């Protein structure tokens, strides 16, 4: 919401910001409201931003994201498609469309749009997230060869938890829930809230985890109604035993056991 308090006390030159500066201020405010789950306030900001600079893709992408939060996937898709039509090279719009299809369980279409995103995207970290989403699509589609190849290619990294969540998803899909939760616990002990939030939400959307199982540290990356009850990392007292550094220490016990078993064979 735009606040005009005190403007009468300012010099005439400072009473009115440039349209670009005002637009940026409002969009920054809208993004903050979005992260806080104050979606009605986001819409108010977007209406104000539209009056200053109509048809901006940044505003449309945020509007679509709000609609996704409200589970209005078809409406969100329509907004993201407008962005793609206006700018076919806008990578974010393709990722957002892919997310909508993923949430609608249209995994083949989701995979297609995630691939398009990777082809356009210049942020390596975001491409890793998209590749993880493609893996989940293959897993749900029953593409066993693609799943096997992706698991064989993934490695532990200090920069993203893809290894843990890919293995967790595969374990969940196979009914090995305890093993899957070991991988998720390991990820939460090692990585930051933003990184975990980017990965764990998909496991919730697929029904592998309940929202109340997700730790408070990543609640801002879940739907506003999420109310964590028993954080995953509190279920395992071994969290204090995890080394602070070293890629070799990132592999959970279950992963190390599987690796040693394969080597013995």
- Other beta carbons within 10 angstroms of residue 31's beta carbon come to 15
pLDDT at 262: 42
Q: What does R_g of the chain's alpha carbons equal in angstroms?
A: 21
Hunting for tokens 């080597």 — which residue is that?
Answer: 263
Tell me the domain boundaries of the chain.
38-130, 154-265
Contact of 67 with 79, CB cutoff 8 Å: yes
Give CA–CA dist 40/30, Å, rounded. Answer: 10
- Other beta carbons within 10 angstroms of residue 143's beta carbon come to 18
Q: Does domain 38-130 have CATH number 3.40.640.10?
A: no
pLDDT at 14: 45
Give CA–CA dist 25/38, Å, rounded. Answer: 17
Give CA–CA dist 101/79, Å, rounded. Answer: 14
pLDDT at 121: 92
Residues with pLDDT less than 70, the chain = 1-16, 215-265
Contact of 68 with 49, CB cutoff 8 Å: no
Hunting for tokens 């007292």 — which residue is that?
Answer: 237
Listed residue (191, 193, 192, 215) closest to 204, CA to CA:
215
pLDDT at 215: 53
pLDDT at 234: 37
pLDDT at 193: 83
pLDDT at 16: 63
| Region of residue 143 (left: phi > 0; alpha: psi -120 to 50; beta: else) | beta
């Amino acid at each position: 919401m735009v606040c005009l308090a005190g403007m009468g006390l300012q010099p005439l030159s400072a009473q009115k910001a440039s349209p670009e500066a005002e637009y940026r201020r409002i969009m920054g405010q809208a993004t903050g409201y979005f992260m806080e789950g104050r979606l009605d306030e986001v819409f108010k900001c977007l209406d104000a931003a539209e009056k200053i600079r109509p048809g901006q893709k940044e505003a449309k992408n945020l509007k679509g994201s709000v609609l996704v939060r409200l589970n209005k996937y078809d409406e969100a898709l329509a907004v993201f498609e407008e962005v793609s039509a206006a700018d076919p090279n806008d990578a974010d719009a393709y990722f957002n469309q892919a997310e909508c299809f993923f949430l609608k369980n249209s995994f083949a279409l989701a995979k297609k749009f995630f691939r398009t995103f990777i082809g356009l995207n210049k942020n390596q970290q975001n491409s890793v997230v998209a590749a993880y989403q493609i893996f989940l699509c293959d897993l749900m589609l029953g593409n066993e060869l693609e799943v096997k190849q992706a698991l064989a290619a993934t490695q532990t990294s200090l920069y993203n938890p893809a290894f843990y969540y890919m293995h967790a998803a595969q374990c969940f899909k196979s009914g090995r829930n305890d093993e899957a939760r070991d991988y998720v616990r390991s990820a939460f002990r090692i990585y930051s809230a933003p990184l975990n939030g980017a990965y764990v939400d998909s496991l919730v959307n697929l029904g592998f985890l309940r929202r109340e199982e997700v730790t408070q540290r990543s609640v801002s990356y879940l739907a506003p109604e999420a109310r964590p009850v028993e954080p995953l990392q509190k279920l395992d007292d071994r969290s204090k035993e995890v080394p602070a550094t070293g890629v070799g220490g990132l592999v959970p016990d279950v992963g190390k056991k599987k690796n040693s078993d394969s080597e013995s064979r």
